[in-house]
Structure 1
Amino acid sequence: MSKFEERYEELTNTVKEAEEDLMKFYEKGNKAAGTRARKSMMELKKLAHEIRQEIQEIKNEEL
């Protein structure tokens, strides 16, 4: 599995986890799910930042 595929899989899994917890929080008022959703959102932010850096590095190598 390539680095891109690993990153993409990690990103999609985190989105799915966040979606499940967000639904539990908003629809059922589950406070623990809200905490997990916030954690997932921070993980998404971190992953997005790492992916953006990788993209920029690849672009800079091509020049």
Structure 2
Amino acid sequence: MEKRFEQLKDLVMSLEGDFDKFYNKGNNAAGTRVRKGMQELKNLAQDIRVEVQEKKNNE
């Protein structure tokens, strides 16, 4: 679980530059990278949710 949480934090931090490029500098390619990263974030969050629910149900 700790590994997944670290992945989550790393992913959020890796998107910071692209957020800045898209929102402040109008770089559309950065917007595409942000969207892709957010999809990965969504999938990782869902995996964590499932893992937490399974652990909760098994206790």
Spell out structure 1 runs of 4+ moving beyond 4 A: none
Q: 1:28 aligns with which of 18, 25, 33?
A: 25
- Structure 2 stretches of 5 or more lacking a match? none
1:48 matched residue in structure 2 = 45
- Structure 1 stretches of 5 or more lacking a match? none
| Aligned-residue RMSD, C-alpha | 0.8
**Superposition deviation, residue 19 in structure 1:** 2.1
Kindly provide the CA deviation profile for residues 2-25 of structure 1, in whole angstroms up to 9, marking residues without a partner as x: xx2210111011101222211110
Amino acid at match of 1:60: N
Aligned residues: 59
Q: Does 1:13 align with 2:10?
A: yes
**Superposition deviation, residue 30 in structure 1:** 0.8
CA distance in 2, matches of 1:16, 1:33: 14
